[in-house]
Structure 1
Amino acid sequence: MTDDGITLPDLVTALRECAGEDENVDLGGDIGDRTFTDLGYDSIALLETSARMADRFGLDLDDDVLTGLETPTELLRYLNEAFTKAGEV
């Protein structure tokens, strides 16, 4: 995490910890706009990863919103909005 919030490397670390990594996918590349399905992650993996991020950064996340997110960029936007709100408390 940086002063600007949660980063793609933070998210990739959580994805690897929670759901592993498809050997055919390079998570070190430009994955921001690829769908989680293309990256080899299903909705369960996304929810587990999001729960890990919520615990790590003290976030309050809505599972209904999470299930509608399709790319790492969308998830990061949502996580950082939640992070900003958590800092306002």
Structure 2
Amino acid sequence: MSSTMTFDNLKDIMSRCTGETEDLTEEHLNLDFTEIGYDSLAILEIASQIQREYGLQIPDEAIEEMNSPQAVIDYVNNSLAAA
């Protein structure tokens, strides 16, 4: 389990879940997932992978609020810091 999540960590998880991150750059951090081509099922799979990899429990309400890569990174890092 890692102590923090970086953009590269998230990109790796997203790649394993969807296989489509070659065009994803840090310029996309604050864009909604829908704007960069990810649907709600992809986001659920990403959240599931994060829960397994980082040992976090992510409530459904939090997943609904994780609407951009930056929001995911912030949530994970805040949760890890609080643990």
- TM-score of the superposed pair, with normalisation by structure 1: 0.79
RMSD: 2.1
Give the gaps of 5 or more residues in structure 1. none
Task: Give the percent of matched residue pairs that are identical in Structure 1 and Structure 2.
Answer: 29
The answer to which structure has the higher helix fraction is 2
- In structure 2, stretches of 5+ residues that fail to align are none
* Ranges of 4+ aligned residues in structure 1 off by more than 4 Å: none
TM-score, normalised by the number of residues in structure 2: 0.84
Between the two structures, name the one with larger relative contact order (CA 8 Å, sep ≥ 6). Answer: 2
Aligned residue pairs total 83
Q: Which SS does the other structure have where 2:28 is aligned? A: coil
- Aligned counterpart for 1:82 among listed residues 68, 79, 82: 79
Structure 1 residue identity aligned to 2:32: T
Q: Max radius of gyration: which structure?
A: 1
